[in-house]
Structure 1
C-alpha cells in the first residue's frame, strides 16, 4: 500500500507526461520541425524514466524489504526480472 501523498505525486507525474504526449501529438498535427518533436520525445522518455525510478525506489523500500524480512526470496528474482525489463 502506498500513502495518499505518494499516490498523488505519482499520478501528477503521469499527468504531466500525458500532457507532454498531447503536446507532441499537437506538434505532429501542426507539422512541426522533426528535431523539435524529437527533443520533446526525449523529454517524455526522461520523464517516464524518472517516474520509474521513483516507483522502483519505493517498491524496494517497502514491498521488497518487507518480503525479504519475511523470507520470501522469490521477490528478489521478481526484482531482478523487473530491472532487466527496465534496462532494455
Structure 2
C-alpha cells in the first residue's frame, strides 16, 4: 500500500506526538506523579496511536474506492484492511 506524502507526514506527526507523550509518562512515573495524571497521559498517547493507525487504514480504503471508480481492481486487500481496523477498534 502506498501512502501519499501528505498523509505520511500527518501519520508521522501523530506518532512523534505519541512518542513525546510516552516519554512524558515515563518521566511522570519516575517522579512519582499522581496516577490520575499518568493515566490521562497514557490515554492521550493511546488515542494518538489509534488515530495514526486509522489514518493508514483510511488511506487503503480510499485507494480501493478510487480503483473501483476507475474500473480497476483494487491493489489493497479489503479483508486485510478490515482485520487491521478491527485490531485497532
TM-score, normalised with respect to structure 1: 0.78
Alignment gaps of 5+ in structure 1: none
Point out 4+ residue stretches in structure 1 off by more than 6 angstroms: none
Q: 2: CA distance between counterparts of 1:6 and 1:52?
A: 11
Q: CA RMSD in A?
A: 2.3
**For residues 9 and 83 of structure 1, what CA distance do their matches in structure 2 show?**
18
Segments of structure 2 that go 5 or more residues without pairing to the other structure are none
Cα separation, 2, equivalents of 1:77 and 1:4: 25
TM-superposed deviation, 1:85: 1.7
Q: Which has the higher contact order (CA 8 A, sep 6+)?
A: 2
Count of residue pairs the alignment pairs up: 85
TM-score w.r.t. length of structure 2: 0.77
Question: Hey, what's the Cα distance between the residues in 1 that align with 2:22 and 2:87?
Answer: 22
